[in-house]
Amino acid sequence: GSLWEAGSRALSEHAVPNKPLNLALCLPPTPTRPTRPLLQPSAAHFSAEWSVGSVSTKTSYKAFSVERVRAHVGLHVGLEGVNITLTGNPVQQLNETIDYNEQFIWRFGQNYAGAYAEALERGLPNPVLYLAEKFTPSSPCGVYRQYRLAGHYASATLWVAFCFWLLSNMLLSMPVPHYGGLTLLITGAFALFSVFAFASISSVPLCQLRVGSSELTTHYGAAFWITLATGVLCLLLGAAVLSLHYARPSALRLFLEGSVNDLESPTKGSSPLILSNPLHKQFKTSDLTISTNL
């Protein structure tokens, strides 16, 4: 018994002679760096740049007044309402600062007509009231309902696209490339649905907008084109992920994880990390001989 204990204690103090310690399998795996699409479909949701128009003109300033000012008038239509700007050129005219930025909301739960009535009571400048009146429910233009419904459906589909965008980030970070690519395709599809929903109002002729002696025309703004580009890019990325998943799955996994070759099976020509300290007693040649007589 005592001889067996002595032998065990000696083996624990003296390792195999001249055998370096290999810590390759003890190292933690290389930290992963998941690749996430730098796209966010909901970024354009709160923008008022879906349909824009501007004009510089000389126009009447206040009701029941013959005074005219030279100003820059801007119309910005978004998914939830319209934004109207009026900036004097120069800003200081008629002994006051002409710099207005007014917003009128038509999303569900908001009273656009009430906001317009409040603007009348505040005595806002004529160009602002004129453009805001064109989008009221009682306006002869009849565009309020179309813009309101188009904005509502475009907003809803954008939020759905945003949810699938978050899901695609999660799946690609796990990584699950097959389902990540599918969710990217769905993200792009819903982003394009929002663009088509807003573009449906193009068939509705907008009343002629004349501010002073100039005509104000509108066109699709930056938010519209950014959303369109985001949808197309998500479709392309989703198709690329799915194609690589079936064609070169190992390359796709390497790209998503940012990892190197598996440390457990080093490739030819590479060497594992070896830590050797010849001064430590573990690496000294054993001079102890253990023998047992039965």
What confidence tens digit (pLDDT) does each residue in 48-90 have?
Answer: 889 999 999 999 988 878 889 999 999 999 999 999 999 999 9
Q: Among 29-33, 130-134, 181-185, whose mean pLDDT is lowest? A: 29-33
Out of 148-157, 167-176, 241-250, give the one with best mean pLDDT.
Answer: 148-157
Least-confidence region, from 23-32, 137-146, 166-175, 243-252: 23-32
How far apart are alpha carbons 87 and 70 in whole angstroms? 9
Residue type, 17: P
Cβ neighbours around 271 below 10 Å, total: 7
- Segment 167-185 shows an average pLDDT of 87
Tell me 40's DSSP state.
-
Q: Which domains does the chain have, with CATH numbers?
A: 41-249 (1.20.140)
Quickly state the pLDDT bin for 291 (edges 50, 70, 90).
low
Per-residue confidence band for 4, with pLDDT thresholds at 50, 70 and 90 = very low
Token pair, residue 176, equals 């699950």
Q: Are 263 and 29 in contact (CB under 8 A)?
A: yes
pLDDT value, residue 189: 95
Tell me which DSSP letter residue 46 carries.
Answer: T
DSSP-assigned states of every residue in 217-242? --EE-HHHHHHHHHHHHHHHHHHHHH
Rounded CA separation 65/94 (Å):
12
> In the structure encoding, which two tokens stand for residue 27, read together?
């190292």
| DSSP label of 261 | S
Q: What is the mean pLDDT of residues 147-169?
A: 91
Q: What is the DSSP letter of 120?
A: H
Q: Which residue's entry shows tokens 């510089």? A: 56
Please say if the pLDDT value at position 112 is more than 70. yes
Evaluate whether 20 touches 276 at the Cβ level (below 8 Å): yes
Three-state secondary structure call for residue 259: coil
Mean pLDDT rounded to a whole number for the chain: 77
Residue 41 has pLDDT above 90, yes or no: no
- Beta carbons of 105 and 115 less than 8 angstroms apart: yes
